[in-house]
Structure 1
Amino acid sequence: MARQRSKSDLPTKICPVCERPFAWRKKWADCWDDVKYCSERCRRRRTQASSYED
């Protein structure tokens, strides 16, 4: 039986909307390079966040 990785060993990214770090998830195993947002909520709010930066 394989040993579990600790959460601190997983790769992380920073969400551009909420600016919080989020960790790799098994469901993102095939598309981790394409993942930009930590949640569906942040993905939907991406246009609002970019308008605040101006």
Structure 2
Amino acid sequence: MDGTRDPLARDERAELHWLRAENTLLRVQLDILTDIATGYAHDVDTILRLRADR
């Protein structure tokens, strides 16, 4: 390689834009699901502790 980059074709640039947008959405969804799972685990832990104290 001579160090130069070939410019992206229009369809390649559109696909790259779409993939970046999808990646952003997936990261947000992962953050939301992680928060939900953490809250659920905390709730289950609390319930189990209350039952063990009886």
The bucket for the TM-score relative to the shorter chain is: under 0.3
Higher Cα radius of gyration: 2
TM-score calculated relative to the size of structure 1: 0.25
TM-score calculated relative to the size of structure 2: 0.25
As a proportion of its length, which structure holds more helix? Answer: 2
